[in-house]
Chain A
Amino acid sequence: MIFFWAFVIGGLICVIGQIMFDVFKLSPGHTLSILVVSGAILDGLGLYEPLIDFAGAGATVPITSFGNSLVHGAMQEAEKHGIIGVITGMFEVTSSGISAAIIFGFIGALIFKPKG
């Protein structure tokens, strides 16, 4: 069941991205930035977490979850340390995507050549 919904919800988020590409003619950079911001706002409204519960990877794999987990990290620290935690806790939860991208990016640069 979760697999089915992961497919559907994940696919639908991608369709939103595709519509931004094709209908509004946004560049990938703009599209992804907008999606990340909407993920953060949805989490601020408390709507993203239920979506993750429902669709699993369908909601955690799209880039929108990046905004969501940034807010989560910030909120977690804010509960402990107040306002200052908003800044210090930002990467508490979501470091994995960025660190994996950096590490594998560098390894990729070491072993691969662009194919053209």
Chain B
Amino acid sequence: MLTGHRTWIFENNPVIISTGTVGGPFEANGNIPHAFNILHDDMWLEQASFEKAQQMMMEEACQYALKNSSIQKEQVSFFISGDLINQITPTSFAAKTIGSPYFGLFSACATSMESLALAAFMINANGADYILSGTSSHNAAAEKQFRYPTEYGGQKPPTAQWTVTGAGCALVAKTGQGPRITSATIGKIVDMGMTDPFNMGGAMAPAAVDTIMTHLKERKVDISYYDLIITGDLAHIGREVALDLLHKNDINIPEEKFVDCGLTVYREDQPVLAGGSGPACSAVVTYGHFLDLMKKGKLEKILVVATGALHSPLSVNQKDPIPCIAHAVSIEAGSDVT
């Protein structure tokens, strides 16, 4: 049900009945290795290319999501996913392996919550029984796609971010045990004229703030309603800017309640500069870490705001600004609902 201009309230309470997360070697060394179902120690996953490795991770994440539930592959109505690589081919090949009807999305690092919002909406509207909603990214493949060859010795500034190697997948269902998806706010493109592709956090922060404020207003709740506001991959600079912007707009959120997946996934001493990024960043941290905390009863209500910088190497070279977006999905613990 639409409330306000761009917020959906899911009155039928779609449930995330299981999740699957896959990580790479760098994530294994990170802050939350326990959040992953499987951690690979090889960037290649014994595949012929980084893109194939990414496809492999997506497939594995889906398999783990299915394995962790009692659902068969054939019961899945739709597979909604996307990634960063050229025309989202890794996801499409993964969709071929999974075999379900497939929606391919591109929302850069906001893909995770965009697919989750769409999945919840379809389930809520009785459009499907089970939906696999996920996303993946691969550090080396993203470097190759957006920046320089991985072995090129270019110096990255301290504002640069490190793309997460991994894949996260959530299985959304009408009924079942697990956290419920209660609402979602779809973001608008926010363009503040930022052009530096090595400072995505700073570019995406206004989009996150815009979506958070709209969500609170349209859902008519106060910021204190949520235990945590989780942003996707703002990293150090973006998080601070977003926090300041929120305070400036009279949303007095305590600092410890405003966390960022890009900062959660890695340890501080890892050479990730400003923090993690990539579609898989918000997916693995939310599905693997925060939903786990929720299941353990440590969290009640969270709002996940996945942020995406929707530029391409082409648009950057043509001196266009970076268009940014943020999609918010609220997830609430709900063992009482069956």
Contact = CB atoms under 8 A, between A and B. Distances in A.
On whether A and B touch (CB less than 8 Å), the answer reads: yes
Contacts of B196: 25
Contact of B44 (A21, A22, A28, A113): A113
A21 B155 contact: yes
B271 interface: no
Contact of A115 (B148, B150, B154): B150
Contacts of B148: 28
Nearest to B195: A25
Contacts of B269: none
A21 B149 CA distance: 18
A113 B42 CA distance: 13
A21 to B, nearest CB: 7
A22 B154 CA distance: 12
Contact of B50 (A21, A25, A116): A116
Nearest to B152: A28
Contact of B140 (A21, A25, A28, A116): A116
B139 A116 contact: yes
A116 B27 CA distance: 14
Contact of A28 (B43, B50, B151, B154): B154
Interface in B152-193: 154-155, 157
B27 to A, nearest CB: 13
B23 to A, nearest CB: 14
> Chain A: interface residue count, which band?
under 10
A114 B155 contact: no
A79 B44 CA distance: 55
Contacts of A28: 148, 154
A115 B155 contact: no
Interface string A1-29: 00000000000000000000110010010
Query: Is chain B's interface secondary structure helix, strand, loop, or mixed overall?
Result: loop
Contacts of A113: 44
Contact of A114 (B140, B154, B157): B140
A114 B44 CA distance: 10
A116 B43 contact: yes
Contacts of A22: 157
Interface in A75-116: 113-116
A99 to B, nearest CB: 21
A113 B43 CA distance: 11
A113 B140 CA distance: 12
Interface string B120-161: 000000000000000000011000000011110011010000
Contacts of A114: 50, 140, 149-151
A113 B155 CA distance: 21
Contacts of B50: 114, 116
A2 to B, nearest CB: 27
A21 B153 CA distance: 13
A44 B151 CA distance: 35
A38 to B, nearest CB: 21
A115 B44 CA distance: 9
A22 B43 CA distance: 31
Interface of B: 43-44, 50, 139-140, 148-151, 154-155, 157, 196
Interface of A: 21-22, 25, 28, 113-116
Given A114-B149, A116-B140, A116-B150, 10 more contacts: A21-B155, A25-B196, A28-B148, A28-B154, A113-B44, A114-B140, A114-B151, A115-B43, A116-B43, A116-B139
20 contacts: A21-B155, A22-B157, A25-B196, A28-B148, A28-B154, A113-B44, A114-B50, A114-B140, A114-B149, A114-B150, A114-B151, A115-B43, A115-B150, A115-B151, A116-B43, A116-B44, A116-B50, A116-B139, A116-B140, A116-B150
